[in-house]
């Protein structure tokens, strides 16, 4: 059963209502929300997020890739255990750009999905 929640980022749709997302769009939005939120940013949930923005300013090397992979994996397992099973978090870097690929299985439909994030 697909659940519907507020779209991320928050916005107003063409009909003047608060935009919503469901299905794969909802899962992708939740993943981005967890990854892009810094711990301490949410008033009611100070532990929410993974601090990715802080990590991207570190030197671009294998240690950064391993740290980023661990932080994202841990955060997704903590904040989305009912929605997805994380299969892998792959980090690739080229020059000054970091590409993060999260491969997951949706728990409700047992379908594999991917989210790619570029920094």
Is-contact 108 95, C-beta < 8 A?
Answer: no
pTM above 0.85, yes or no: no
Beta strands in 43-119 (DSSP E): 84-94, 97-106, 112-118
Q: List beta partners, residue 94.
A: 97
Per-residue pLDDT tens listing for the chain (119 residues): 556 767 766 778 888 888 877 778 888 888 998 998 889 888 899 999 887 877 666 766 777 778 888 999 999 999 999 999 999 999 887 777 778 999 999 998 898 999 998 87
């Amino acid at each position: 059963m697909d659940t519907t929640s507020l779209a991320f980022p928050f916005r107003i749709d063409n009909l003047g209502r608060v935009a919503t997302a469901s299905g794969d769009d909802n899962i992708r939005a939740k993943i981005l929300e967890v990854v892009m939120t810094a711990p301490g940013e949410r008033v009611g949930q100070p532990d929410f997020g993974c601090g990715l923005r802080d990590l991207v300013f570190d030197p671009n090397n294998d240690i950064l890739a391993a740290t980023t992979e661990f932080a994202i994996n841990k955060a997704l397992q903590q904040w989305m255990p009912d929605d997805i099973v994380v299969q892998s978090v792959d980090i690739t870097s080229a020059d000054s750009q970091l590409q993060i690929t999260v491969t997951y299985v949706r728990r409700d439909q047992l379908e594999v999905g991917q989210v790619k994030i570029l920094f």
